[in-house]
Structure 1
Amino acid sequence: MVQSVATKTCSNCGTPVESSFAHCPRCAQSTHLHRFTLGHLAHDVFHAVTHADKSILKLARDLAIRPGVVAYEYIIQGKRKKYFNPFTFLLLVLGFTLLMYSTFHPITKTLSMKPSQEQSRMLDMPEKRQAYEAAMQRNKEVLAFSERQAKLVTVTAIPILAFVFWLCFRKRGLNYAEHLVFNVLLMSIISLLGSLAIPIFEVLNISMLSTPSMILLYGSMIGYPALGYYQFFRFYKPISIAGAVGVSLLAVFVYNLTTMLATIGYMAWGAVQLLK
């Protein structure tokens, strides 16, 4: 059984290497390649997740407690090697988010199509009931879309939020692209927090559309970016915590207004189709 392969040329790039070399001088790949075993796979996964300064866990931990410091070091000071790539981190978080939503269906499973007793009394006419059922169906489609495309909802939120922060802080020297990177970091943690809450709410039998869920959602979407920008500008051009919260609140308002208008347009289009 072959345990390892001692190479005379690098298996990755073909560069000639001496047998005493531990790594290729050109691409840095190990010159002694083990065959894959479950033990090696477990080691590689553990190493990839926890290794040194570029670990996912270190980035997640640092972002959770000092998002502004991470953003300042990554964007302003250019410490790109210190942290795990934020865009790769976002993709991993979105994959986890998709898994949670597709497994637990936290939004659509709590939506009821049946009218309440009071609504039933108001829907005594067949035409009214038909219009109600059509509106509810469109609403269910919107919620199902947001659940099915949770990662798309997050991705579309980033440029909108970044634009508002850029607009409000445009005199502080950051360009729009740098605000985009900042909001990639912020939304990664917000999405991760929301995804981790899904199975917890499932165990506690708390609806994702309930008041506690909404408090968690809007609290994180307003408070966390405010904390991040407050920390960031402490190193750059200081702002008050109230100013950071105000801009964060405005950013969430603009995003919600955008999504609300899109939803109203979709519902109105459905109503027009029904009248034809």
Structure 2
Amino acid sequence: MESCFNCGNSVTENYCAHCGQKKYSRIDKKYIVNELQDTILQTNKGFLFSLKNILKNPGRTAKEFIDGSRISHYKPILLAFLLSGISAFISFKIIGFKEIIEQYYSQQNMSSPLMIDILSFTTSYNSIIMLSFIPLLGIVTKIAFRKWGQNYYEHIVMNAYILSVYTIVNIVIIYPVLFFLKTDANLFFQTSGLSIFTIPLIMIWFFKGFYKDKSLKSIFVRVLLIILLSFLGFIILIILAIIAGFIFAFIKGPEALEYIQPQ
């Protein structure tokens, strides 16, 4: 009987029952091959399993994960990070949002460097920006569904799933359409904002699957509340941004005009 090299307890199986350390085996070719197989196959299995279940019923998938059925699922926050990275790569490198936005503004005779930088960042990294707002969205959905049993941290997980669905919709539906509209900057720019309107539909689909015993009407009312609270939060952020702009202009003086004046 071997002893665990991590905690010293006896090891009778492949893993230590006390600390979870894997049974000792010398690092050789077989070890490296096995580790690669385990890492790649287990990761892909969890990722593909989660994608399949999210596309079938995202709310039910989140409910299963929160209720404890987690061994086969990809971790939701990690999944949202991964999908957001894929989305950013496609929008920035393959579609080329920044170049198209620059083209659009040149056609409109408006070429403010600051505006182009802001728009190119927000459109190219749309999912990543939303990812950073998950803690705030968790507060909003917690308020909207405050009597239905889930705590704040469970709402963070729920919003990670919602973001994953939104990102998948962008990757599978919105981005292919935008790719074929690259040559028409005006039509591209008008179409690029349409994905935001899928969010209420995704939320209704998600929460109806999560709270399957609740009526569609009650879900709809709470999604409207989420939209209202999010809009109010957005207005507050705009006000704070304007205040920050005034502070920046006050500190920089006339030099600040170089960032906003058209070239």
Does TM, scored on the shorter chain, surpass 0.5? yes
Verify: 1:87 aligned to 2:82, yes or no. Answer: no
Equivalent in the alignment of 1:123? none
Q: Which runs of 5+ in 2 are unaligned?
A: 256-263
Does the 8 A contact of 2:15 with 2:23 survive in 1?
yes
Does the 8 A contact of 2:144 with 2:226 survive in 1?
no
| Aligned residue-pair number | 243
Does the 8 A contact of 2:181 with 2:188 survive in 1?
no
Identity across matched positions, percent: 18
SS at match of 2:41: helix
Q: Distance in 2 between matches of 1:180 and 1:152?
A: 15
Question: Of 198, 216, 227, which residue of structure 1 is paired with 2:205?
Answer: 227
Q: Residues 204 and 263 of structure 1: is their aligned pair in 2 closer, same or farther, counting only changes over 3 Å?
A: farther
Does the 8 A contact of 1:104 with 1:198 survive in 2?
no
Q: Which runs of 5+ in 1 are unaligned?
A: 1-7, 120-131
SS at match of 1:170: coil
- Deviations 1:87-109 (CA, angstroms, capped at 9, x unpaired): 22222223323332442364311
RMSD across aligned positions (CA): 3.9
Does the 8 A contact of 2:49 with 2:72 survive in 1?
no
- Deviations 1:23-66 (CA, angstroms, capped at 9, x unpaired): 245437477771545x984675234312xxxx111212222231
Shift of 1:74: 2.6
Q: Residues 13 and 57 of structure 1: is their aligned pair in 2 closer, same or farther, counting only changes over 3 Å?
A: farther
Does the 8 A contact of 2:144 with 2:222 survive in 1?
no
SS at match of 1:210: helix
- Deviations 1:238-272 (CA, angstroms, capped at 9, x unpaired): 45253244234335534543554455556656766
Letter in 1 for 2:106: K
Q: Residues 58 and 176 of structure 1: is their aligned pair in 2 closer, same or farther, counting only changes over 3 Å?
A: same
Verify: 1:216 aligned to 2:195, yes or no. Answer: yes
Q: How does 1:195-210 map to 2 (within 5 A)?
A: 195-197=171-173, 200-201=176-177, 203-206=179-182, 210=189
SS at match of 1:139: helix
Larger Cα Rg: Structure 1 or Structure 2?
Answer: 1
Equivalent in the alignment of 1:242? 220
Letter in 1 for 2:40: V
Q: Distance in 1 between matches of 2:94 and 2:243?
A: 29
Verify: 1:161 aligned to 2:137, yes or no. Answer: yes
Does the 8 A contact of 2:6 with 2:21 survive in 1?
no
Does the 8 A contact of 1:233 with 1:239 survive in 2?
no
Verify: 1:49 aligned to 2:44, yes or no. Answer: yes
Shift of 1:139: 0.9
Q: Distance in 2 between matches of 1:266 and 1:209?
A: 31
Deviates more, 1:200-209 or 1:56-65: 200-209
SS at match of 1:111: helix
Equivalent in the alignment of 1:128? none
